[in-house]
Amino acid sequence: MCGIAGFYCAKKHYLKEPARYESILSSMASVQRHRGPDDEGIWLWEHAGLSHARLSIIDLAGGRQPMTKTDAGQTFAIVYNGELYNTGELRKELRDCGHTFLTSSDTEVILAGYMEYGPEFVKRLNGIFAFAILDPVKDSLFLFRDRSGVKPLFYTVRDGEVVFSSELKGIFAFPGMEPELDRRGLNEVFSVGPARTSGCGVFKGMEEVLPGHFLCCSPEGVSNRCYWRLESRPHTDSYERTVEQTSFLVTDAIRRQMVSDVPICTFLSGGVDSSLVSAVCAAELKKRGERLNTFSFDFVDNDRYFKANSFQPSQDRPFVDKMVEFLGSSHHYLECDNLTQADRLYDSVLAHDLPAMGDIDSSMLQFCSMVKEHNKVALTGECADEIFGGYPWFHRKECFEAHTFPWTMDLNARKVLLSDDFIQFLGMEDYVRETYERSVAETPRLDGDTPEEARRREIAYLNLRWFMQTLLNRMDRDSMYSGLEARVPFADHRIIEYVWNVPWDMKTRGGVVKNLLRQAGRGHLPDEILFRRKSPYPKTYDTNYEALLVERVREMAADSCAPVMQFLDRKKLERFLLSPSDYGRPWYGQLMAGPQMLAYILQVNFWMEHYKIRLTL
């Protein structure tokens, strides 16, 4: 993976001031150096500039970027962040069309494919990606993002000039781009955060290319085009055929995503998702006489403090032990202590350029930094729950019937620290309701669906569009902050397209949550792992960690310059700090309860201070 950035304006002539704009491009790459610590490159053209920070995974010697190819005297250029999993097939097809290749990189295949077929070539790509292509014939810049939104791509338009970057910090490295926050941005932070409305960059004027879309930036302006969307259609396969096809799609996606010129590893929690990914990888490597590296994560002394609840029924460690023995992998048990987790809250903000998922995020960032000491590429089990219906809100009656986002049904939990005036200013209920209704209205419908099945589609769509995107953002930023490439086989668009139309009865045959995936995994895993009840990403139950957060929040509140305090009620805050936390009643998702609210407030305060955010209300 890498970091990309650049700019385009048909009315400007950047080559008149090459030193200035090359310096800007270098700055845009440098601030994203964590995404690509192996190399940097820039390319300047009359109406555009491209920059690239490279993490070398494929064709270590020949894959430098920006990459150019010339045809009929016209030079096309690309900067690319991602990984293509059908490179071989596409390269063969393009060679048959007369193209020659100087490298073995997927970057050159994408550029050649564009030159042959135009922007519609993106429909042929199987991978995770965000890339920009400069087309001199059309005097246009195209910005593409993968179907699931695995890879980020932010942009802003100012006076006809388009500035883009993998991360928001790349845009802020462009002169004159200042971090500003309006009422919409505040609602994104306090009303729906740490999720984000699709396409919203939170900062005023900042947007993100939508998943499955591309932008065309030309002398005529900026246009947004959709190249992929989910479609609802009748499912005609038998149950047996459905299991067989699901098994093929999942294992094929995992095997394809093992492509790398450096050794791969896997995250292993002992749950069915990561265990299935690890089992397929271990079996493939064994054929080559190689041994898989696996990594699990937990907190120091968590075996002493862990408290089972309806969301988190069991610890991972016993199941990890069973999987390590089953796989014969070279395993690494990684742990995080309280102080590291609290300190990493601020690094997490720097990774996202936004408040994140509190310590759910900071611990993942620490985990990825430790994995990077051993490997540069990791395969994960992310996204299976959103696609196969693993979360409680797919099953609980109150979630099913709620006219709001089912992972954050009670807005009172979000208001517990906010001043009444600020709550009134935000209009939280209206913002959430309008955002929710707009999202639900996008759900692909199918004539003939029962009201119950139609509602299941809505919940599934909300999960793909919102919750999965939040977790994909977390995985990308936290891994890339340390230059680790984290891949997500379950987000393969072929799996999403197929499973989307599988009836709920098949997904949960016999009343077993995610039974379709479990049945598809038979032969790869022991039943004890296949049918383990879901237990989400681990978090600490150590009250000493909460005490550390309380101490830091008190210090923050005592600072008369703390920017977040303008939104908080001091009396409410003090009551909250004195109240015992209920770990079983999250305010977002399954894990973000009382201590995570404190962590989130600390992140918001640091974010506003560090980025010197100006409010434009």
Catalytic residues: 2
Q: Buried (b) or exposed (e) across 378-394, using 16+ Cβ within 10 A?
A: bbbbbbbbbbbbbbbbb
Q: Residue 554 and residue 546: Cα distance in Å, rounded? A: 12
What Rg, from alpha-carbon coordinates, does the chain have? 24
Q: Residue 21 and residue 16: Cα distance in Å, rounded? A: 9
Query: Using alpha carbons only, what angle is made at residue 384 by residues 382 and 387, rounded to the nearest 5 degrees?
Result: 130
In the block, tokens 């404190």 appear at 598
Helix (H) or strand (E) holding 180: strand 180-181
Q: For residue 402, what are the CA distances in angstroms to 76, 406, 407, 513, 535?
A: 50, 7, 10, 20, 24
Q: Residue 478 and residue 368: Cα distance in Å, rounded? A: 7
* Angle of helix 358-371 versus helix 594-610 axis, rounded to 10: 80
Edge-to-edge strands, sheet with 485-487: 330-336, 293-299, 264-267, 377-379, 485-487
Residue 492 and residue 150 in contact, taking contact as beta carbons nearer than 8 Å: no
- First-residue to last-residue Cα distance in the chain: 37
Q: Cis peptide before 66, with omega less than 30 degrees from 0?
A: yes
3-state DSSP assignment of residue 306: coil
Q: Residue 102 and residue 69: Cα distance in Å, rounded? A: 10
CA proximity to 79, closest of 114, 52, 53? 52
Helix (H) or strand (E) holding 378: strand 377-379
Which region holds residue 89: left if phi is over 0, alpha if psi is between -120 and 50, else beta? alpha
Tokens of 180: 């500003």
Q: Residue 549 and residue 276: Cα distance in Å, rounded? A: 36
Q: Which amino acid is at 394?
A: F
Helix (H) or strand (E) holding 225: strand 221-226
Which region holds residue 178: left if phi is over 0, alpha if psi is between -120 and 50, else beta? beta
Tokens of 439: 């999202």
Q: Count of alpha carbons within 13 Å of 2, Cβ hemisphere only?
A: 31
| DSSP conformational letter for 489 | G
Tokens of 387: 């696609």
* Residue 348 main-chain phi, psi, to 5 deg: -60, -40
Residue 303 and residue 351 in contact, taking contact as beta carbons nearer than 8 Å: no
Q: Which amino acid is at 485?
A: E
CA proximity to 527, closest of 537, 535, 516, 519? 519
| DSSP conformational letter for 448 | T
Q: Residue 535 and residue 508: Cα distance in Å, rounded? A: 17
Q: For residue 606, what are the CA distances in angstroms to 169, 201, 600?
A: 15, 18, 10
